[in-house]
Structure 1
Amino acid sequence: MKIDWNFYNCHLQLHELCPSSKILFYLYHDKLELPYLLNASEPHLPPSINGSFPLKIIIHGYAGHVMAEPIVEIRKAYQEIGGKNILIIDWGKLAVLPCYPTAVLNTAQVGQCSAEFVAEIIKKHHPRYVHIIGFSLGAHIASFVGNYVRDSIGRKIRRITGLDPALPLFANLKGTYKLDKNDAQTVDVIHTNVGTFGKMEPTGHVDFYVNNGSSQPACINHHNPPLCSHLLAPTYYAESITSKTGFWGTSCPSYFQYVIGWCPLPEPERPEAKQRIIMGEYLLRGSRGVYIVKTRSSPPYALG
């Protein structure tokens, strides 16, 4: 049954047939500043685009849109290194302020319609691989996309990166309604504000807790430190794409053990420090576990 309700400015869309006029797909490539607005009814890339390039899919969070700063940061970083097709899923009309509860409910519809579109792109253009980067609520949408695409093409996509997956209203949901390690061949997660805007528990094959995991040094004097910390997840990820230094994490059995002081971080010159792994774009395939990452308090944030 189709449900399409408007409560004041809060739009709830459930069980509507895809494509939806409220879900837009923008394609960027290399250094082109102007995007292609793709036709959701006819999923294909323009003839001038090399469809075999890796496909990076970016999904914003609550109150976001294609030109939201966290999304632009990541998109521009990919354009700087080149050689990627960048697909941005703009579901901003279904995620407007102050409508968080309806935005949460809309994630399933956005996930299904986006997955139908992405599956057709994969079938027609055969990109080298597909990598979804989802921020906050967008991380949970990435879960829906991963599962729907798997059912459509018969295999999991290569990778999903969750940038501080949203906590409110997702704490007790089943795995099929939120990001987890079953959604792609590799699921990596960057936690920057656990317990307020972001989920605390490990969510992927590999989970990185940045600084203390809940508050970021750059946000100490911010008027809203939790929100600032949450928004730094995409900033760190964008920097990881172009950084020559890199964000390096040190292994710990669990975030809880780190919080209670059972995982003191080694000094860089000690042997155990050499067993660190890199966080972000250049994550080594097959990485597993929980890692603690330290950053600077101002950009560039990566410490190496």
Structure 2
Amino acid sequence: MSKFTAFKRITNAETPVPLKNLARTPAQVGANVLLVDWRRGAAAPVYSVAASNTPAVGAELSVVLQRLMRNSISLIPHDVHIIGFSLGAHVAGFCGRHFLMHTKKRIGRITALDPAGPLFEGTNVSVSRGDADFVDVIHTNMGLLDNLKFGLAASVGDVDFFPNGGSVQPGCREIACSHQRAHDLMIESITNHRCIFVSRPVSGKSGRMAAGINLDSPPLHESGSTSRGAMGYDSITARGRGMQYIRTRSKPPFCIPLEDQRCLVERVRDAAHSNGFPKQGPAETS
């Protein structure tokens, strides 16, 4: 299995922590990893220029993949997993589309870590389901750029995770902290063998994020276990699909064990009951 990691920007200051960590972690699951260094394209002083460079970078990555597969009988499309952060998530999407167009085959998986929202929200060029056999998305900073939110709000993957509501992450006070939390969660999903990021579905909604949906206040009722997800590396093997909600801690380890999550849910139920609401939560509506 091979992993390709495409980050939004690669500067001397940013390179040591996220890139080295992501380069190191796939070895724990028996994978080879290649880092996509597109610092010249991503470091454009104007965001719109960097965003417009993503199709070319994605196409070049696709060409590299095709060359590798021509020279190696052991590398097949199904085994390729591209992990992209911010603009890098859209690089991954363009790569998947270019690869499909030229080989008639899809790569195995794309993990989009808080895909960049500006210039991609509401378009048909953002990373999306169909760009790979399986597309999982972690939203940690969705919202408007005017509000210093950098991530895509739309539900675009086979499964979309919205930790802590998907907009502001606990413990984050600095600009871009919530945005960068996405790759921290992905790394921990590989390195933390004691806890799985178990999620539950957001009921009654699907597709693009609807105006007025409040993910910061999840449903008070528990959903069936068959539709639970596992945010991060193991999401492909879990049954949960669509929009998934999960709580995390404010600092590492971010993962909250399932039993602790149940205690938090029960606390919300008790608070609702003490304020005159039915403790079992409202019935589902179609």
The TM-score normalised by the length of structure 1 is: 0.73
Which of 100, 107, 113 pairs up with 2:47? 100
Alpha-carbon spacing, 1:198–1:260, altered in 2? closer, same or farther (3 Å)? closer
Of Structure 1 and Structure 2, the greater strand share is in 1
Which of 219, 229, 236 pairs up with 1:277? 229
Match of 1:28 in 2: none
Match of 2:279 in 1: none
Match of 2:26 in 1: 78
User: What amino acid is aligned across from residue 242 of structure 2 in structure 1?
Assistant: G
Task: Output the CA distance in 1 between the equivalents of 2:215 and 2:32.
Answer: 43
CA shift digits 1:61-94 (9 cap, x unpaired): 1355782532222222223x15211011110011
Counterpart check, 1:166 vs 2:109: no
Task: Output the CA distance in 2 between the equivalents of 1:76 and 1:94.
Answer: 24
Task: Output the CA distance in 2 between the equivalents of 1:260 and 1:284.
Answer: 23
User: What amino acid is aligned across from residue 223 of structure 1 in structure 2?
Assistant: E
Task: Output the CA distance in 1 between the equivalents of 2:220 and 2:18.
Answer: 29
Structure 2's unaligned 5+ residue stretches are 144-148, 258-286
Answer whether contact 1:62 1:103 (CA < 8 A) is retained. no
Counterpart check, 1:111 vs 2:66: no
Which of 230, 234, 257 pairs up with 2:179? 230
Task: Output the CA distance in 2 between the equivalents of 1:119 and 1:106.
Answer: 20
SS at match of 1:259: coil
Aligned residues: 241
Match of 2:136 in 1: 188
User: What amino acid is aligned across from residue 231 of structure 2 in structure 1?
Assistant: M
Shift of 1:202: 0.1
Shift of 1:179: 0.4
User: What amino acid is aligned across from residue 188 of structure 1 in structure 2?
Assistant: D
Which of 152, 158, 166 pairs up with 1:199? 152
CA shift digits 1:131-157 (9 cap, x unpaired): 000100000010111011122332101
Alpha-carbon spacing, 1:262–1:236, altered in 2? closer, same or farther (3 Å)? closer
Task: Output the CA distance in 2 between the equivalents of 1:300 and 1:246.
Answer: 11
Answer whether contact 1:62 1:100 (CA < 8 A) is retained. no
Give the root-mean-square deviation of aligned CA atoms. 2.3
SS at match of 1:282: helix
User: What amino acid is aligned across from residue 219 of structure 2 in structure 1?
Assistant: P
User: What amino acid is aligned across from residue 157 of structure 2 in structure 1?
Assistant: G
Shift of 1:263: 4.0
Which of 130, 144, 162 pairs up with 2:80? 130
Shift of 1:171: 1.9
CA shift digits 1:225-245 (9 cap, x unpaired): xx1000000010000012220
CA shift digits 1:143-198 (9 cap, x unpaired): 1110111223321011101000000111243x2x2201020111110000011200
User: What amino acid is aligned across from residue 24 of structure 2 in structure 1?
Assistant: K
Task: Output the CA distance in 1 between the equivalents of 2:220 and 2:20.
Answer: 33
SS at match of 1:74: helix
The TM-score normalised by the length of structure 2 is: 0.77
Answer whether contact 1:119 1:152 (CA < 8 A) is retained. no
Answer whether contact 2:136 2:160 (CA < 8 A) is retained. yes
Counterpart check, 1:61 vs 2:40: no
Match of 2:273 in 1: none
Shift of 1:260: 6.8
Of Structure 1 and Structure 2, the greater helix share is in 2
Match of 2:98 in 1: 148
Task: Output the CA distance in 1 between the equivalents of 2:93 and 2:233.
Answer: 19
Task: Output the CA distance in 2 between the equivalents of 1:82 and 1:284.
Answer: 14
Alpha-carbon spacing, 1:82–1:273, altered in 2? closer, same or farther (3 Å)? closer
Task: Output the CA distance in 1 between the equivalents of 2:191 and 2:215.
Answer: 34
Shift of 1:273: 5.8
Alpha-carbon spacing, 1:249–1:265, altered in 2? closer, same or farther (3 Å)? farther
Match of 1:90 in 2: 37
Shift of 1:261: 7.5
Answer whether contact 2:170 2:249 (CA < 8 A) is retained. yes
Answer whether contact 1:158 1:186 (CA < 8 A) is retained. yes
SS at match of 2:171: helix
